[in-house]
Amino acid sequence: MKRKITLISGDGIGLEIMSAAAEIIDAAAGNIEWEEAIAGQGAYESCGELLPKKTIESIEKNKIALKGPITTPVGKGFRSINVQLRQYFNLYANLRPVKSYEGIKSLYNDLDLVIVRENSEDLYTGIEHMVTKDAAESIKIITRGASERIVDFAFKIAQKEKKSKVTLTHKANIMKLTDGLFLESGRKVAEKYPNIKFEDVIVDAMSMKLVMRPYDYQVVVAPNLYGDILSDLAAGLIGGLGMTPSANIGDDIAVFEPVHGSAPDIAGQNIANPTAAILAGVMMLKYIGEDSSAAKIESALKRVLKNENLHTKDIGGSLSTMEFKNEVIKAL
């Protein structure tokens, strides 16, 4: 019986890279049936809605979605569709693996850590207003329940991935109530996992330490904003956002996506790197129990990335998106 999964191509380069990822998954796993849906700027242009009801219903029904990048205007316009999806489905955990691959020029080799980002609150709730015409205020919300839930999720990831340490990052020296609550919650949860080392690091120091000594860290758990920033910083250690997938996970629904944006400047040119989308597909397959298919795809991708003659333009090569996809399928 085939497993039905919602496929959202998104905006910009999304159509190209998600098509490539889906075709690779089809080549490795014969039991996936895609239900295509739309969201974002392209959806608005075609049906007048940024997040159509049909797309919501598809995700609710299928429980799993593979989603491409969606354009979000900076400073004005509509709110992030990504944030809306996370809040609507209570996808409280954002999982971002940071893994280096042979053949990719990066600052570190053999790096393998995971950033676990709280996904439901903090400044990303979008509660902000103008106090006067010259002053704006944004409200940061941290709750005990969400904090304990995400730290517990991080420890469970450590157990699953056989990691021996969880590092919580915060700014409790300045934000003593909000970040203080996050830290207090983390310490409480850590008591349930005596076999896993627990430490906390202030976020500005964490930024420096991740650049200087990333091998010291295995699982990093953070509130929403810090997790977003640190995961992009960590992507810079392994070759950029083109190499980084992510998962948004709730109690019974999960959405998998590349971390990078929609890159409208190169959309339609068949030059985008589909690696992050492919790796998001690998994460999705593992999540639904298709470990064998996930391993096949990652192994094939590793072989292609190892050969510098088979890279896309952004990582120093000359292959098109579709040529790169074909090489991965060939390696399967």
Angstrom distance (rounded) from CA 119 to CA 140: 13
Do the bridges between strand 245-249 and strand 93-99 make them parallel or antiparallel, or are there none, so unpaired? antiparallel
Angstrom distance (rounded) from CA 177 to CA 212: 30
State yes or no: is 232 an active-site residue. Answer: no
What secondary structure does DSSP assign to 104-132, as a single string? S--S-SS-EEEEEEE-S-BGGG--EEEEE
What secondary structure does DSSP assign to 275-300, as a single string? HHHHHHHHHHHHHTT-HHHHHHHHHH
Q: Per residue, what are the HEC states of 21-65? A: HHHHHHHHCCCEEEEEECCCHHHHHHHCCCCCHHHHHHHHHHCEE
Maximum pairwise Cα distance, the chain: 60
Phi-psi region of 172 (alpha: psi -120 to 50; beta: other; left: phi over 0): alpha
The active-site residue out of 92, 101, 124, 226 is 124
Any residues with CB less than 8 A from the CB of 188 and at least 6 apart, and which? 148
Instruction: Identify the burial level of 243 via C-beta atoms within 10 angstroms of its C-beta, where 0-12 means exposed, 13-18 middle and 19 or more buried.
Output: buried
The active-site residue out of 163, 228, 296, 314 is 228
Q: How far is CA 131 from CA 47, 120, 136, 178, in A?
A: 36, 25, 5, 21
State yes or no: is 11 an active-site residue. Answer: no
Coil, strand or helix at 161? coil
State yes or no: is 204 an active-site residue. Answer: yes
The active-site residue out of 101, 122, 152, 171 is 171
**Which residues are 34's β-sheet partners?**
5
The active-site residue out of 204, 216, 251, 252 is 204
Q: Are 42 and 70 in contact (CB under 8 A)?
A: no
Q: Are 7 and 35 in contact (CB under 8 A)?
A: yes
First CA to last CA across the chain, in angstroms? Answer: 23
State yes or no: is 110 an active-site residue. Answer: no
Active-site residue numbers? 124, 171, 204, 228
